[in-house]
């Protein structure tokens, strides 16, 4: 049954015997938690902080699936949550108390139509992991084939519907008093979350998601996706091949398994960027319980196994292209174009005068970028924007709720493996390569914004910056730059490259005279970057 906010509200309001006790419990638990953190949160005593972490974990776990999802997001943010609390919150990922084993077996039989004894060569007496929506068993079929069998917790439809109505009502009531300027109401963001949660408890949709995700990465040897066993799957049971790997808990654990944490970060971030900016279909819940590090490497990339495809989302082609441009405009400090990006994405009203916003963006972001582009991470940007969102007419479109959650979780996961991680150090080379090689009309427009100024002069230094950032982040710059040169030449000679060719010709003619200065600079750049000596050099790049 799909999520319907109005229907569920009417359903619950007509059942005060369900609504009132649950509302009192949520408000009481939350209030006690807030009071305890106000009294003890600043204590230097590690024992007290550990106790607070345990109390936080227990409170969230008892409040149920909707609250556990929030806790899982917090468990990926070592930059936001104290270490002692973080250690406890990681248990929300796959170490929650399981529900009754006999009940799980009954659910399996009702859904599949046969018992676990008949369907498997071996089925354990207890789950290997237990999370917010279900618990997982490691079973065996066909003598040697190990599989993961996830069985859903009972009554989830009722529990989630009830709690979403209450959370939505509380946010509607307190929203006007919060120092937020979201533009779209908190209730719309909760509705987005609610829709994704109801999709997540439909395991038939999860099976479809897993197969679609596997298809997108079928040529990528660095990404492993479990195979769905359709004959042993249903709406409340999903069976997939077993992925044997190491949880992305911390750097030390990976090193002990002889796995390079940096290569794992690189794969996680690049695959995340591919999902968001290239495929337009992404895993919206990439916490450490859903990603596993596998042994082996593919070039500079480590191997990762993705699991749990319940919370997925899509992004439109228009938004994907605009986000790509926004990354470039941040790097190049094109704040007027960045303001236009925000407007296209819906963070600014279509009626907003961008001449008023551009100086504000420059004031907020310029200082950070001037220090070091590679020091810019998502938290730095959001910290800078927190005051801006309240003082100026910025808003968060509801459709970006899961995107922001995914990016925050992705960066938080990387920070667990490397506290010095900076997301743009990985993101910008990927974006630069796409802009220089893809025959996408919108990306060609972004490329022209980078390479040519308003007078049609070639900005050689910016083009060099794009090439530099690609080669700097590779152990073998020649291997990275040669495809860029080949694809760039193909783009220039293609139909979609006609605008670039026109701009190049215009750069040669200034004031009715030939101007070879720009072209000379471009040819010198090509000579420097693509000389046999430069292409044959190897570099070691450390994060």
The DSSP call for residue 182 is -
Q: Give 136 or 493, the one with higher predicted confidence.
A: 136
pLDDT over 90 (residue 336): no
Give Cα separations from 97 to 79, 93, 447 (angstroms): 27, 11, 52
Q: How far apart are CA 345 and CA 365, in angstroms?
A: 19
Q: How far apart are CA 380 and CA 372, in angstroms?
A: 12
pLDDT over 70 for what percent of the chain? Answer: 82
Segment 10-21 shows an average pLDDT of 93
Catalytic residues: 285
Which residue spans within 43-171 are E strands per DSSP?
129-130, 134-141, 145-152
pLDDT over 70 (residue 316): yes
Q: How far apart are CA 77 and CA 87, in angstroms?
A: 11
**What is the model's pLDDT at position 543?**
38
Instruction: Specify burial of residue 256 (Cβ count, 10 A radius: 0-12, 13-18, 19+).
Output: exposed
- Segment among 334-343, 370-379, 387-396 with least mean pLDDT: 370-379
Q: Give 459 or 122, the one with higher predicted confidence.
A: 122
pLDDT over 80 (residue 232): yes
Q: How far apart are CA 420 and CA 78, in angstroms?
A: 12
The string of DSSP letters for 245-301 reads -EE-S-HHHHHHTT--HHHHHHHHHHHHHIIIIIISEEES---GGGEEEEEEEETTE
pLDDT over 60 (residue 504): yes
- Tokens encoding 412: 């938080």
Q: Give 67 or 512, the one with higher predicted confidence.
A: 67
pLDDT over 50 (residue 538): no
pLDDT over 80 (residue 32): yes
pLDDT over 90 for what percent of the chain? Answer: 29
Give Cα separations from 474 to 171, 183, 302 (angstroms): 47, 42, 14
Asked if 191 and 8 touch (Cβ cutoff 8 Å), the reply is: no
pLDDT over 70 (residue 219): yes
Q: How far apart are CA 423 and CA 356, in angstroms?
A: 29
**What is the model's pLDDT at position 156?**
92
Predicted confidence band of residue 541 (pLDDT cuts 50, 70, 90): very low
pLDDT over 70 (residue 401): yes
pLDDT over 80 (residue 406): yes
**What is the model's pLDDT at position 59?**
92
The structure's pTM equals 0.80
Tens of pLDDT, residue by residue over 239-295, are 999 999 988 877 888 898 889 988 898 898 889 889 988 899 999 888 778 899 998
Asked if 213 and 309 touch (Cβ cutoff 8 Å), the reply is: yes
Predicted confidence band of residue 474 (pLDDT cuts 50, 70, 90): low
Query: Coil, strand or helix: which one is 473?
Result: coil
Q: Report the 10 Å Cβ neighbour count for 120.
A: 19
Query: Coil, strand or helix: which one is 329?
Result: helix
**What is the model's pLDDT at position 347?**
83
Quote the distance between the C-alpha of residue 50 and its chain's center.
29
Q: Considering the chain, what is the average pLDDT of its residues?
A: 81
The DSSP call for residue 224 is E
Tens of pLDDT, residue by residue over 43-60, are 888 888 888 988 988 999
Predicted confidence band of residue 461 (pLDDT cuts 50, 70, 90): confident
Which residues touch 299 (CB under 8 Å, ≥6 apart)?
none
Reading phi first (left if > 0) and then psi (alpha if -120 to 50, else beta), residue 334 is in beta
Segment 184-207 shows an average pLDDT of 84
Reading phi first (left if > 0) and then psi (alpha if -120 to 50, else beta), residue 113 is in left
| Angle at 132 (CA atoms; ends 145, 33), nearest 5 degrees | 150
Q: Which of 260, 472, 348 is nearest to 268 (CA)?
A: 260
**What is the model's pLDDT at position 390?**
58
- Tokens encoding 463: 């083009």
**What is the model's pLDDT at position 539?**
47
């Amino acid at each position: 049954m799909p999520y319907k906010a109005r229907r569920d509200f009417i359903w619950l309001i007509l059942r005060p015997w369900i609504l009132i006790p649950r509302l009192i419990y949520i408000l009481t638990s939350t209030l006690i938690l807030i009071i305890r953190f106000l009294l003890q949160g600043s204590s230097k005593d590690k024992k007290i902080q550990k106790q607070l972490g345990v109390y936080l974990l227990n409170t969230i776990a008892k409040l149920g699936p909707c609250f556990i999802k929030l806790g899982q997001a917090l468990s990926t943010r070592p930059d936001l949550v104290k270490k002692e609390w973080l250690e406890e919150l990681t248990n929300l990922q796959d170490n929650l108390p399981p529900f009754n084993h006999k009940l799980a077996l009954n659910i399996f039989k009702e859904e599949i139509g046969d018992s676990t004894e008949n369907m498997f060569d071996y089925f354990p007496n207890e789950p290997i992991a237990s999370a917010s929506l279900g618990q997982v068993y490691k079973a065996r079929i066909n003598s040697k084939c190990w599989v993961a069998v996830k069985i859903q917790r009972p009554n989830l439809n009722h529990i989630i519907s009830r709690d979403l109505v209450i959370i939505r009502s509380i946010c509607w009531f307190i929203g006007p008093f919060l120092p937020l300027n979201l533009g779209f109401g908190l209730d719309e963001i909760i509705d987005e979350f609610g829709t994704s949660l109801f999709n997540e408890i439909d395991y038939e949709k999860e099976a479809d998601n897993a197969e679609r995700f596997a298809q997108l990465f079928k040529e990528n040897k660095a990404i492993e996706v479990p195979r769905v066993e359709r004959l042993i799957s249903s709406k409340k049971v999903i069976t997939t091949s077993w992925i044997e790997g190491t949880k992305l808990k911390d750097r030390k654990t990976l090193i002990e398994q002889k796995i390079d944490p940096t290569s794992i970060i690189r794969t996680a971030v690049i695959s995340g960027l591919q999902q968001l900016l290239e495929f337009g279909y992404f895993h919206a819940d990439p916490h450490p319980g859903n990603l596993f590090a596998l042994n082996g490497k593919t070039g500079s990339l480590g191997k990762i196994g993705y699991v749990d495809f319940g919370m997925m989302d899509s992004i439109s082609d228009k938004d994907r292209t605009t986000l790509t441009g926004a990354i470039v405009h941040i790097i190049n400090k094109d704040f007027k174009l960045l303001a236009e990006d925000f407007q296209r994405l819906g963070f600014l009203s279509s009626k907003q005068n961008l001449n008023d916003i551009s100086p504000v963006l420059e004031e907020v972001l310029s200082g950070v970028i001037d220090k070091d582009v590679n020091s810019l991470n998502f938290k730095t940007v959001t910290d800078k924007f927190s005051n801006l969102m309240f003082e100026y007419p910025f808003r968060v479109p509801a459709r970006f709720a899961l995107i922001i959650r995914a990016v925050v979780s992705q960066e938080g996961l990387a920070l667990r493996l490397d506290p010095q991680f900076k997301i743009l150090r990985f993101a910008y080379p990927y974006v630069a390569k796409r802009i220089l090689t893809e025959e996408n009309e919108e990306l060609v427009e972004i490329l022209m914004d980078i390479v040519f100024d308003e007078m049609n002069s070639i900005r050689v230094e910016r083009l060099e910056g794009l090439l530099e950032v690609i080669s700097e982040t590779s152990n073998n710059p020649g291997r990275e730059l040669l495809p860029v040169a080949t694809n760039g030449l193909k783009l220039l000679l293609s139909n979609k490259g006609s605008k670039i060719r026109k701009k190049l010709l215009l750069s040669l003619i200034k004031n009715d005279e030939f101007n070879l200065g720009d072209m000379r600079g471009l040819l010198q750049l090509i000579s420097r970057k693509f000389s046999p000596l430069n292409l044959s050099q190897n570099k070691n790049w450390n994060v």
